[in-house]
A = this chain, B = another copy of it.
Amino acid sequence: MKTTESRYHKCLYFTSNALARKVEKLAIESWKSVDLSPSHAYVLMVVLEEPGIQPGTLSDEMQLTPSTITRLIEKLEEKKMVIRTTEGKITNVYPTPKAKELQPELKSCVADFYQRYAAILGQKESDQFVRTMGAFADRL
């Protein structure tokens, strides 16, 4: 009897990547309606909640490198969702009116995404799982 299908399923590397890829797919579906990737949508939502936030703060909060944040913001700027103002060495990122209009829709994407995975994984179980995963991630 072959057991190939579970050969590396016990490894943290394999498993965390496989999970992230599957979650990514699910998330893409949920944010399709706003024509934004999940990453872009998250950045935008943070900017909406904290207008004028600096890229460095976004980088810290989202645990993405500054260069990645720059690229995400550039794209959002192209889409007229945010504007950047630079004064000296600091940059502030503000949502545009267009982004503010979109905010309810973004919130419904969050809700849709949550519904999707809670439906599959269970509400309590998935909540607990996300908490645990967050705690493990913080420790690494």
Contact = CB atoms under 8 A, between A and B. Distances in A.
Assembly stoichiometry (copies): 2
Contacts of A136: 19, 121, 126, 129
Given A140-B23, A140-B26, A126 B7 contact: no
Majority SS at the chain A contact face: helix
Interface residues of A, number: 51
Interface stretch (A10-18, A70-78, A83-91, A97-105): A10-18
A12 B16 contact: no
15 contacts: A7-B61, A10-B127, A10-B134, A11-B110, A13-B24, A13-B42, A15-B130, A17-B23, A17-B24, A20-B20, A22-B137, A23-B140, A121-B139, A121-B140, A126-B136
Given A10-B134, A18-B134, 7 more contacts: A5-B61, A8-B46, A14-B62, A15-B134, A19-B20, A20-B20, A23-B140
